[in-house]
């Protein structure tokens, strides 16, 4: 067994720089706005801050991301999730004179003439990073009841709303559907995005979407183009199935469809810890397999936040942390950290999050196929442009076991000289003549980069 830790880290670091600079276009139907050539790397407020985000807390997390070293390897998005706006009750969010949500000034106060959200975005930009925000589809019942005008038109909120059709706003409620066949409907969404563009937003997460929200996906995509500001469009689930995949691929940059990865039932003492559990991570295997055909440069499958970085508060064992990161990387998924960046666990940071060899697997923008699903054994693989195979051997069972597949199963050509298997977590390299195998610990993974000798 040969140890190549330093040399392999140097090689994969070089590969990562190439991938971050831009991948090869693989999905001819993907959104072509020039964004997300590789999966997004960043952080989101939901998992840790939950319903208590403030300007100061978001700035502190942004500074921690900047200072941690993660920004230097590509983590550049700081995303504000829910609870930034005023929600007085089930009648829906408070609205401005054009029917758009109103920022909660107790959490995000204006700084002089600068709106509170823009002030935070400007701070994040000053650190060399990008800033995202959270919305949900539809229009607030308050806008409908007040019949607010739609900016730049003679139309009003009541004229574009379908009051009998509720939309998903999980925490505030009070949103109803927009009928995009009505005059003024597209202009309303345009005005929303124009406001966000004026706040210097770089990333829009529109949550609570279902297969019935295809019109909203297109409208928000069109509005982003109309605004003239490049913004990632992230469509996340109410109940998304692959039926809406063609729409997502055409108009969005990433999309999330599984249930939340956070372990709400596990949380203790009013905190957000533990952030997740093995059961919540393990639910993703079938999603990664099912959605594999729809990912590619310009549009990626999002399996929710990476909950690695806070040590035992992650809710995962060290082995399970490797599994989560490996599965997301094989799926070429966005790496959106859900952790408290101001209290990073040194081992999580150095051993897991900063592993450039594993991160390069994610940033190749290729979604792996599941080639084995046999009880507690699952194998995912993908082929790199240079001919390397990336193979993840997973053991979801309760005790260690050998997981193996023939080289032909992972699309490796016959090779009389055999193959070199580089373990991307340990840095160790071994040889095999024909079978790709390893003894994998319970809930664990062995992640190989394989090439012919």
Structure tokens at 38: 């590789």
Average pLDDT of the chain to the nearest whole number: 93
pLDDT tens, residue by residue, 95-127 = 999 999 999 999 999 999 999 999 999 999 999
Residues 202 and 76 in one domain: yes
Interatomic CA distance for residues 215 and 248, integer angstroms: 11
Residue 327 is given by DSSP the state H
Residue 319 CB partners (closer than 8 Å, separation 6+): 441, 442, 443, 444, 445
Q: Model confidence at 304, in pLDDT bands (50, 70, 90)?
A: very high
Residues 102 and 178 in one domain: yes
Confidence at residue 238, expressed as pLDDT on a 0 to 100 scale: 78
Of 311, 345, 367, the residue at which a domain comes to its end is 367
Quote the radius of gyration of the chain (alpha carbons, Å): 22
Residues 437 and 363 in one domain: no
CB atoms within 10 A of CB 272: 22
Q: Model confidence at 14, in pLDDT bands (50, 70, 90)?
A: very low
Residue 30 clears pLDDT 80, i.e. is over it: no
Confidence at residue 412, expressed as pLDDT on a 0 to 100 scale: 92
Which residue range is the domain that position 383 belongs to?
372-452
Mean local confidence (pLDDT), 428-436: 95
Residues 313 and 410 in one domain: no
DSSP codes joined into one string, 217-238: HHHHHHHHHHHTS--EEEEEEE
Residues 361 and 426 in one domain: no
Are the beta carbons of 39 and 365 closer than 8 angstroms? yes
Interatomic CA distance for residues 428 and 331, integer angstroms: 23
Interatomic CA distance for residues 294 and 256, integer angstroms: 12
Residue at 130 is within a domain: yes
Residues 302 and 218 in one domain: yes
The side-by-side arrangement of strands in the sheet containing 254-256 is: 300-302, 254-256, 232-239, 203-210, 130-135, 77-79, 41-44, 335-337
Q: State the helix-helix crossing angle for 185-198 and 214-227, rounded to 10 degrees.
A: 50
Interatomic CA distance for residues 133 and 345, integer angstroms: 27
Residues 429 and 318 in one domain: no
Q: How many CA atoms lie within 13 A of 325 on its CB side?
A: 32
Mean local confidence (pLDDT), 415-444: 96
Residues 146 and 30 in one domain: yes
Classify the phi-psi angles of 139: left when phi > 0, otherwise alpha if psi is within -120 to 50, otherwise beta: beta
Residue 28 clears pLDDT 60, i.e. is over it: no
Residues 309 and 410 in one domain: no
- Sign of the CA dihedral with 425 first, then 430, 436, and 439 last: negative
Residue at 9 is within a domain: no
Q: What is the CATH number of the domain that holds 447?
A: 2.60.40.1180
* Cis before 274 (ω within 30): yes
Residue 19 clears pLDDT 80, i.e. is over it: no
Interatomic CA distance for residues 90 and 390, integer angstroms: 49
Q: Model confidence at 416, in pLDDT bands (50, 70, 90)?
A: confident
Residue at 131 is within a domain: yes
Residue at 2 is within a domain: no
Residue 126 CB partners (closer than 8 Å, separation 6+): none
Interatomic CA distance for residues 337 and 45, integer angstroms: 9
Confidence at residue 11, expressed as pLDDT on a 0 to 100 scale: 41
Mean local confidence (pLDDT), 263-289: 96
Confidence at residue 5, expressed as pLDDT on a 0 to 100 scale: 34
Residue closest to 427 by CA, chosen among 378, 325, 356: 356
Residue 18 clears pLDDT 70, i.e. is over it: no
Residue at 304 is within a domain: yes
pLDDT tens, residue by residue, 202-222 = 999 999 999 999 999 999 999
Of 332, 367, 402, the residue at which a domain comes to its end is 367
Residue at 359 is within a domain: yes
Q: In total, how many domains does the chain have?
A: 2
Interatomic CA distance for residues 243 and 120, integer angstroms: 37
Q: What is the CATH number of the domain that holds 93?
A: 3.20.20.70
Lowest mean pLDDT among 27-41, 55-69, 100-114, 388-402: 27-41
Residues 349 and 377 in one domain: no
Torsion, Cα 174 247 28 221, to 10 degrees, reads -40
pLDDT tens, residue by residue, 181-203 = 999 999 999 999 999 999 999 99
Residues 377 and 272 in one domain: no
Of 336, 367, 398, the residue at which a domain comes to its end is 367
> Can you give the length of the chain in residues?
453
Mean local confidence (pLDDT), 336-355: 98
- 86 burial class (0-12, 13-18, 19+ CB within 10 angstroms)? middle
294-304 exposure pattern, b = at least 16 Cβ within 10 A, e = fewer? bbbbbbbbbbb
Mean local confidence (pLDDT), 132-152: 98
Residue closest to 39 by CA, chosen among 390, 360, 420: 360
Residues 288 and 361 in one domain: yes
Are the beta carbons of 211 and 240 closer than 8 angstroms? yes
Residue at 310 is within a domain: yes
Q: How many CA atoms lie within 13 A of 349 on its CB side?
A: 18
CB atoms within 10 A of CB 97: 11
Confidence at residue 1, expressed as pLDDT on a 0 to 100 scale: 33
Residue at 20 is within a domain: no
């Amino acid at each position: 067994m040969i140890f190549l830790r330093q040399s392999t880290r140097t090689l994969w670091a070089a590969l990562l720089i190439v991938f971050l600079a831009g991948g090869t276009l693989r999905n001819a139907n993907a959104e072509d706005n020039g964004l997300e050539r590789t999966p997004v790397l960043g952080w989101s407020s939901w998992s840790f801050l939950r319903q208590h985000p403030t300007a100061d807390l978001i700035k502190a997390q942004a500074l921690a991301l900047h200072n941690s070293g993660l920004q230097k390897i590509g983590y550049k998005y700081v995303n504000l999730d829910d609870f930034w706006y005023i929600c007085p009750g089930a009648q829906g969010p408070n609205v401005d004179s054009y029917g758009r949500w109103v920022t909660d000034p107790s959490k995000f106060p204006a700084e002089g003439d600068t709106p509170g959200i823009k002030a935070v975005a400007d701070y994040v930009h000053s650190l060399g990073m990008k800033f995202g925000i959270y919305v949900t589809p539809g229009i607030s019942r308050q806008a409908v009841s007040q019949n607010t005008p739609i900016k730049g038109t003679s139309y009003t909120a009541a004229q574009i709303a379908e009051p009998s059709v509720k939309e998903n706003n999980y925490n505030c409620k009070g949103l109803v559907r927009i009928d995009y066949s009505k005059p003024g409907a597209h202009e309303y969404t345009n005005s929303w995005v124009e406001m966000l563009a004026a706040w210097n937003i770089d990333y829009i997460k529109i949550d609570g979407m279902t297969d019935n929200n295809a019109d909203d996906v297109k409208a928000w995509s069109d509005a982003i183009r109309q605004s003239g500001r490049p913004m990632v469009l992230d469509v996340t689930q109410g109940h998304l199935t692959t039926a809406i995949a063609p729409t997502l691929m055409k108009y969005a940059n990433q999309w999330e469809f599984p249930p939340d990865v956070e372990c709400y039932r596990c949380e203790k003492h009013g905190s957000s810890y533990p952030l997740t559990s093995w059961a919540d991570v393990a639910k993703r295997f079938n999603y990664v397999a099912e959605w594999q055909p729809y990912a590619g440069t310009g549009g990626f499958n999002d399996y929710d936040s990476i909950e690695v970085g806070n040590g035992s508060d992650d809710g995962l064992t060290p082995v399970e942390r490797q599994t989560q990161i490996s599965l997301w990387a094989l799926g070429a998924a966005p790496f959106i950290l859900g952790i408290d960046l101001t209290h990073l666990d040194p081992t999580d940071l150095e051993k897991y999050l900063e592993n450039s060899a594993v991160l390069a697997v994610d940033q190749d923008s290729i979604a792996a196929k599941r080639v084995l699903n046999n009880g507690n054994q699952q194998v995912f693989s993908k082929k790199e442009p240079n001919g390397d195979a990336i193979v993840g051997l997973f053991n979801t069972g309760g005790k260690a076991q050998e997981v193996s597949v023939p080289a032909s199963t992972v699309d490796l050509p016959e090779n009389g000289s055999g193959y070199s298997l580089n373990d991307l977590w340990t840095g160790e390299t071994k040889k095999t003549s024909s079978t790709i195998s390893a003894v994998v610990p319970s809930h664990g993974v062995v992640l190989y980069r394989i090439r012919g000798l």
